[in-house]
């Protein structure tokens, strides 16, 4: 008679199951950032001054490509490793809520708004009449963590938790979590871009409070993209989460009626945001038809820790790591 023997799955099996649980876009970003770093390592490319976000170069030479190249390039193995390790739970949770195509659009908006905030603050501080700090115009920021800080703010607002753990050492109020991380990283790490992380937080709050609502299309826009022939191969993949069942106005996480006037937006902001906050500690399974959470997935993951590493200074510029 065959005995009942319970065996544990091996490490490769566990890693495979973990990787398969990561949604399409999040895993794609991990692959892209990891591949770019390995390619740079293989060919010996380390000219970060050519691809980082450099305010002086953006202003003087109109090099707008730096807005996006600075996000996907990283300066060291630990830099890309910890950034991607933090991205997996954050990106997976937001992707299950928004859908893969919608989250991709949101990430582009966040990267762009981060750059605009960075540029505006750098110009303001560098040319203020009292005590100018012109070095900010030559600060070379690189890494995905600016977007990660935006995601932290968004996920914290959606989760509804009252407190967050900082590296498992102590708990802080959830509304201060991103700010505490900003201070901790600045105190403990060298060559960390304070301005890059700060702008990520500002973009996250701007998105959470609905300031980007007027440039976000409705759910039908994303559904049209998903049904196009260009994405037919991707849509058939089980890891891609469709933007179906979302609210009609298409605003995530805050939303308003198309006929709502701008003056009533702030009055209904908290009520709208509260309607998007899922309960983290619950024993019931939400219906698949719940219109507040588009996409197939409903599992919420947690993301508490992320630790960036230092980036070597460029020979001619003050290079700092945005992560």
The per-residue pLDDT for range 71-123, each reduced to its tens digit, is: 999 989 999 999 999 999 999 999 999 889 899 999 999 999 999 999 999 99
Which one of 70, 145, 193, 303 is the catalytic residue?
145
Specify the pLDDT at position 224. 80
List, for residues 120-147, the tens digit of each pLDDT value.
Answer: 999 999 888 888 778 889 888 999 999 9
The number of beta carbons lying within 10 Å of the beta carbon of residue 189 is 16
Q: Rounded distance, CA 295 to CA 243, Å?
A: 5
Specify the pLDDT at position 227. 79
Q: Which of 124-128, 185-189, 231-235, 289-293 has the lowest mean pLDDT?
A: 289-293
Rounded to an integer, the average pLDDT of 198-205 is 95
Hey, what CATH topology would domain 17-160+196-216 get?
Rhomboid-like fold (1.20.1540)
Report the DSSP beta bridge partners of residue 171: 165
- By CB neighbour count within 10 A (0-12 exposed, 13-18 middle, 19+ buried), where does 304 fall? middle
> What are the start-end ranges of the H helices in 10-99?
11-20, 24-43, 55-61, 66-72, 77-98
Q: Rounded distance, CA 104 to CA 249, Å?
A: 18
Contacts of 283 by beta carbon, 8 Å cutoff, 6+ apart = none
Specify the pLDDT at position 321. 57
Specify the pLDDT at position 322. 61
Which one of 105, 118, 197, 255 is the catalytic residue?
197
- By CB neighbour count within 10 A (0-12 exposed, 13-18 middle, 19+ buried), where does 191 fall? middle
pLDDT at 42 over 60: yes
Specify the pLDDT at position 162. 84
Contacts of 64 by beta carbon, 8 Å cutoff, 6+ apart = 58
**Token reading at 174:** 């959830």
Rounded to an integer, the average pLDDT of 295-304 is 45
The number of beta carbons lying within 10 Å of the beta carbon of residue 112 is 14
136, 122 contact by CB (below 8 A): yes
pLDDT at 60 over 50: yes
How do the domains of the chain map onto residue ranges? 17-160+196-216
Specify the pLDDT at position 237. 67
Task: Please tell me whether the overall predicted TM-score, pTM, comes out greater than 0.75 for this model.
Answer: no
Evaluated on CA atoms 188, 189, 190, 194, the torsion sign reads negative
> Does the annotation count 197 as an active-site position?
yes
DSSP state of 215: G
| 232 vs 162, higher pLDDT | 162
Specify the pLDDT at position 7. 56
Q: How many residues does the chain have?
A: 323
Evaluated on CA atoms 234, 240, 245, 247, the torsion sign reads negative
Q: Rounded distance, CA 141 to CA 73, Å?
A: 10
101, 54 contact by CB (below 8 A): no
| 195 vs 252, higher pLDDT | 195
């Amino acid at each position: 008679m065959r005995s009942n023997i319970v065996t544990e799955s091996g490490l490769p099996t566990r890693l495979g199951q973990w990787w398969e649980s990561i949604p399409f876009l999040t895993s794609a970003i991990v692959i892209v950032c990891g591949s770019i770093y390995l390619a740079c390592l293989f060919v010996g490319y380390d000219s970060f001054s050519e691809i980082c976000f450099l305010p002086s170069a953006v202003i003087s030479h109109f090099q707008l490509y730096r807005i996006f190249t600075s996000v996907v390039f990283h300066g060291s193995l630990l830099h890309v490793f910890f950034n991607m390790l933090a991205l997996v739970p954050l990106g997976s949770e937001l992707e299950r809520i928004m859908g893969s195509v919608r989250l991709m659009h949101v990430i582009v908006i966040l990267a762009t708004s981060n750059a605009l905030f960075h540029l505006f603050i750098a110009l303001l501080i560098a040319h203020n009449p009292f005590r100018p700090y012109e070095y900010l115009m030559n600060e070379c920021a690189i890494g995905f963590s600016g977007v990660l800080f935006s995601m932290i703010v968004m996920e914290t607002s959606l989760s509804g938790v009252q407190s967050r753990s900082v590296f498992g050492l102590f708990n802080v109020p959830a509304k201060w979590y991103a700010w505490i991380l900003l201070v901790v990283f600045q105190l403990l790490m060298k060559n960390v871009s304070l301005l890059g992380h700060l702008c990520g937080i500002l973009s996250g709050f701007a998105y959470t409070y609905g300031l980007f609502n007027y440039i976000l299309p409705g759910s039908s826009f994303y559904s049209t993209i998903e049904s196009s022939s260009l994405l037919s191969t991707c849509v058939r993949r089980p890891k891609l989460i469709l933007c179906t069942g979302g609210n009609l106005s298409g605003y995530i996480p805050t939303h308003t009626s198309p006929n709502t006037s701008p003056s009533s937006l702030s009055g209904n902001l908290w009520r709208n945001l509260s309607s998007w906050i899922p309960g983290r500690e619950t024993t019931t399974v939400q219906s698949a038809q719940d219109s507040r959470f588009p996409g197939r997935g409903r599992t919420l993951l947690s993301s508490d820790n992320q630790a960036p590493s230092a980036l070597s200074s460029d020979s001619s510029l003050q290079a700092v790591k945005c992560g």
